[in-house]
Amino acid sequence: MNAPPIEFARTSDGVSIAYGTVGEGKGLVYMQGIPTRHFSLLWKLSADDRQLAQLAAARERRWVMFDPRGMGSSAAVDSFSLDGFVSDLEAVADKLGLTQFDLVAATYSNPIAVEYAVRHPDRVSHLVLHYPFLRSVDALDTPAMAAVRALREQDWTVYTDASMHILFGNQSSHELARIMAQVLRAAITPERGRKVFQLVDQFDMTHQAARVEVPTLVITEPDVFIAEHYSRAVAAAIDSAQFILAETRERFANETWRFLGVLPDSTIAPSFDGAHDTASLTPRELEILALLVAGQSNRVIAEGLVLSERTVARHIANIYEKTGAHGRAEVTAHALRHRIV
């Protein structure tokens, strides 16, 4: 799937915010932790990001990504605030006409998502918080982070490498940490990056978490940098929240997607450890499968490949039979799990 085109929304204070979308249907806004936000580069470097967008599109969801102010392809600014970051999300949601949408945030973007959900409870259908914490001063006050934080003013490259390995090295792989360090350096200048991290160090969503009224999932994994008890405290503060400790990345994905209704209970979310598996699909079937994963209808596939809709339907039936899938959601999960497309 090609990278989504970059479009722009303008905030109430006049800042141009870059965003991209994949698929059609109910909006699903995903916010990686700030300041590692450069969606066009993440799309290029991270297979996980591409696959999640494809899965959402296959389930008739509109996957939305955006770069907050001062990051990625958005306009450069020299000062940052929680209110400013919330206005970035407001601008994108308004530009896309998202009257109701699901909102997923990770780590340092969680306070932004919570603030938005409190201000606009009628617009957020479901809120998912990945690895959240109430107060940065508590969750980030560890010997490792204190030592790395001292590098901010001395060597930005060493600091970004070290901090991303602390955050992501144990979660998945050192390759993910390397990618996120590369994205961080491309997303923001050292001067602006230091300012964002200084703001993050002061985040406290204790008061606002108690005001969240929308259905909320708080989910984390064992042995990640944000300790489990910090995320449990977030779930305890939100009356509408359920807490899940996912022992594996597969369960982490399953629970998130099921909470959002992207996957039915019987469907397994994609594993990101699978090897290539063509499942005896022909070249034409692989071509059509890629278009299915991209969320295209039978009619659009037929027009693009200059085939009849009946022929396309026959190929799709063969794909379902060979993969053991029952419908687009399952075949999309199968394709992503086995890295077929």
Digits of tens for pLDDT over the chain (341 positions)?
678 999 999 999 999 999 999 999 999 999 999 999 999 999 999 887 888 888 888 888 999 999 999 999 999 999 999 999 999 999 999 999 999 999 999 999 999 999 999 999 999 999 999 999 999 988 877 776 777 777 888 888 888 888 887 777 555 556 788 888 999 999 999 999 999 999 999 999 999 999 999 999 999 998 777 889 999 999 999 999 999 999 988 889 889 999 998 876 655 554 444 444 455 788 788 888 888 877 788 999 999 898 999 999 999 998 988 888 777 767 776 776 665 65
Q: Which domain holds residue 290?
A: 283-337
Residue 268 lies in a domain: no
Give me the pLDDT at residue 7, please.
98
Quick one: pLDDT at residue 20? 97
Pair (232, 292) in one structural domain = no
Q: Are residues 100 and 28 in the same domain?
A: yes
Please, what is the angle between helix 47-58 and helix 328-337, to 10°? 170
| Of 187, 157, 169, 228, residue with least CA distance to 33 | 187
Find out whether 98 and 61 touch, Cβ atoms under 8 Å: no
> Is 235 found in the same domain as 327?
no
Separation between Cα atoms, residue 293 and residue 283, nearest integer Å: 15
**3-state DSSP call for residue 196?**
helix
Confirm whether 162 is domain-assigned: yes
Residues 202 and 137 sit within 8 Å (Cβ to Cβ): yes
Q: In total, how many domains does the chain have?
A: 2
Task: Tell which residue, 220, 292, 231, has the closest CA to residue 256.
Answer: 220
pLDDT (0 to 100) of residue 166: 74
Residue 131 lies in a domain: yes
Based on the domain organization, do 159 and 289 belong to the same domain?
no
**Are residues 287 and 209 both part of a single domain?**
no
- Do residue 310 and residue 215 come from a single domain? no
The pTM is what?
0.78
Residue 16 shares a structural domain with residue 50: yes
Look at residue 86 and give its three-state secondary structure: helix
Same domain, 207 and 299: no
The reported pLDDT for the residue numbered 274 is: 42
pLDDT at 273: 44
Task: Give the separation between CA 49 and CA 64, rounded to whole angstroms.
Answer: 11
- The token pair that represents 83 in the structure block: 């209110």
Q: Read off the CATH number of the domain in which 316 is found.
A: 1.10.10.10
Residue 107's pLDDT is 92
Establish if 320 belongs to a structural domain: yes
- For residues 115 and 151, state if they share a domain: yes
d(CA 293, CA 328): 8
Asked if 190 and 315 sit in the same domain, the reply is no
The rounded Cα 145 to chain-centroid distance in angstroms is 24
Q: What pLDDT does 141 receive?
A: 73
- HSE of 289, CA atoms in CB hemisphere, 13 A: 29
Query: Are 153 and 290 members of one domain?
Result: no
Residue 37 has a pLDDT of 94
- CATH code of the domain containing 240: 3.40.50.1820
> pLDDT value at position 272?
43
- Last residue within a domain, chosen from 260, 275, 295: 260
Please indicate, yes or no, whether residues 243 and 306 belong to a single structural domain of this protein: no
